[in-house]
Chain A
Amino acid sequence: MAAPLVLVVLAAVTVRAALYRSSLAAFIAERVEVASPLNAWKRVVEGLALLDLGVSPYSGAIFHETPLIIYLFHFLIEYAELVFMITDVLTAVALYLAIQDFNKVVFKKQKLLIELDKYAPDVAELIQTPMEMHYIPLKVALFYLLNPYTVMSCVAKSTCAINNSVIAFFILATIKGSAFLSAVFLALATYQSLYPLTLFAPALLYLLQRQFIPIKLKSKSFWLYTMQYASLYLCSLVVIICLSFFLLNSWDFIPSVYGFILSVPDLTPNIGLFWYFFAEMFEHFSLFFVCVFQINVFFYTIPLAIKLKEHPVFFLFVQLAIISIFKSYPTVGDVALYMAFLPVWSHLYRFLRNIFILSCVLIFCSFLFPVLWHLWIYAGSANSNFYYAITLTFNIGQILLVSDYFYAFLRREYYLTHGLHLTRQDGTEAMLVLK
Chain B
Amino acid sequence: MAAAVLLLLLLAAAGPGPGRADAGRERRDALREELLLSPLPTGDVAATFQFRTRWDADLQRGAVSHYRLFPKALGRLVAALGVRELHLALTQGFWRTRYWGQPPLQAPAGAELWVWFQPTVTDVDKAWKELSNILSGIFCASLNFIDSTNTVIPTASFKPLGLANGTDHHLLRYAVLPREVVCTENLTPWKKLLPCGSKAGLAVLLKAERLFHSSYHSQAVHIRPICRDASCLAMSWELRQTLTVVFDFFSSGQGKKDWSLFKMFSRTLTDTCPLASQSKVYVDISPKNKEKELLEVSPPPTSVHEAIVQGDRRTYAVYDLLSPSLFNTSRSLNVQLKWKRPQDSSEMPIPTLHAQRYVGGYGLQTGEICTLIYNTHPYRAFPVILLETVPWYLRLYVHTLTIITKGKENKPSYIHYQPAQDRSRPHLLEMLIQLPANSVTKITIQFERALLKWTEYPPDPNHGFYVGSSVLSALVPSVTAMKDMDVEQSPLFTSLFPSSDGSSYFVRLYTEPLLVNLPTPDFSMPYNVICLTCTVVAVCYGSFYNLLTRTFHVEEPSRGGLAKRLANVIRKFRGVPPL
Contact = CB atoms under 8 A, between A and B. Distances in A.
A399 B533 CA distance: 13
A267 interface: yes
B557 A426 contact: yes
B189 interface: no
Q: Is the interface of B mostly helix, strand, loop or mixed?
A: mixed
A396 B542 CA distance: 12
A213 to B, nearest CB: 24
A185 to B, nearest CB: 27
A79 interface: no
Contacts of B450: 266-268
Contacts of B541: 296
Contacts of B417: 50, 53, 55
B420 A55 contact: no
Interface string B555-574: 11100000000000000000
A392 B533 contact: yes
Contacts of B419: 50, 55, 59-62
A384 interface: yes
A362 interface: no
B526 interface: yes
B429 to A, nearest CB: 10
Contacts of B536: 273, 392, 395-396, 399
Contacts of B23: none
B537 A293 contact: yes
A384 B522 contact: yes
B547 A410 contact: yes
Nearest to B362: A378
Contacts of A403: 540, 543-544, 547
A265 B423 contact: yes
Nearest to A398: B540
Contacts of A383: 520, 522
A425 B556 contact: yes
Interface string A397-435: 001100100110011001000000011111000111111
Interface range on chain A (Cβ under 8 Å from partner): 35 or more
Contacts of A307: 547-548
B529 A276 contact: yes
B397 A42 contact: yes
Contacts of B421: 59-61
B574 to A, nearest CB: 28
Interface in A111-169: none
Given A53-B417, A399-B536, A268 B364 contact: no
Contacts of B365: 30, 32, 377-378
A298 B293 CA distance: 85
B451 A424 contact: no
Interface string A370-400: 0000001110000111001000100110011
B66 interface: no
Given A45-B399, A46-B397, A424 B556 contact: yes
A433 B546 CA distance: 11
A278 interface: yes
A281 interface: yes
Given A61-B395, A267-B450, A378-B363, A400 B552 contact: no
A296 B537 contact: yes
Contacts of B537: 273, 293, 296, 326
B398 A414 contact: no
Nearest to B517: A380
Nearest to A283: B455
A55 B155 CA distance: 15
Contacts of A53: 398, 415, 417
Contacts of A376: 364, 519
Given A46-B397, A307-B548, A392 B532 contact: yes
Interface string B352-373: 0000000000111110000000
A269 interface: yes
A277 B533 contact: yes
Given A62-B419, A273-B537, A396-B539, A414 B552 contact: yes
A392 B538 CA distance: 12
Interface in A246-283: 265-269, 273, 275-283
Contacts of A322: 540
Nearest to A286: B453
Given A267-B452, A281-B530, A276 B521 contact: yes
Nearest to B541: A296
Contacts of B364: 376-378
A49 interface: yes
Contacts of A325: 540
B418 interface: yes
Contacts of B340: none
Interface string B511-531: 000000001111001100110
A407 B452 CA distance: 39
B130 interface: no
A342 interface: no
Contacts of B526: 280-282
A19 B521 CA distance: 33
Interface in A28-57: 30, 32, 42, 45-46, 48-50, 53, 55
B454 A280 contact: yes
Contacts of B453: 267, 278-281, 283, 286
Nearest to B399: A49
Nearest to A31: B365
Given A53-B398, A276-B533, A281-B530, A61 B418 contact: no
Contact of A277 (B448, B522, B530, B557): B530
Nearest to A414: B552
A300 interface: yes
B521 A430 contact: no
B61 interface: no
B22 interface: no
B543 A399 contact: yes
Nearest to B427: A60
A234 interface: no
Contacts of B209: none
Nearest to A63: B419
A384 B422 contact: no
Interface string A284-315: 00100000010010001001101100000000
A304 B530 contact: no
A282 B453 CA distance: 9
Contacts of B427: 60
Contact of A46 (B399, B422, B451, B522): B399
A268 B451 contact: yes
A275 B450 CA distance: 11
B505 interface: no
Nearest to A377: B364
Nearest to A279: B521
Contacts of B557: 424, 426
Nearest to B532: A392
B303 interface: no
A385 B537 CA distance: 18
Interface string B369-397: 00000000000000000000000100101
Top 4 A-B residue pairs of the complex, sorted by shortest distance between their CB atoms = A60-B419, A49-B399, A403-B543, A280-B529
Given A276-B521, A432-B553, 9 more contacts: A50-B417, A55-B417, A267-B453, A268-B448, A269-B451, A293-B537, A296-B537, A384-B522, A426-B557
Interface of A: 30, 32, 42, 45-46, 48-50, 53, 55, 59-62, 265-269, 273, 275-283, 286, 293, 296, 300, 303-304, 306-307, 322, 325-326, 376-378, 383-385, 388, 392, 395-396, 399-400, 403, 406-407, 410-411, 414, 422-426, 430-435
15 contacts: A30-B366, A50-B398, A50-B417, A53-B417, A273-B533, A280-B521, A281-B526, A293-B537, A300-B544, A383-B522, A385-B525, A410-B552, A414-B551, A432-B552, A432-B555
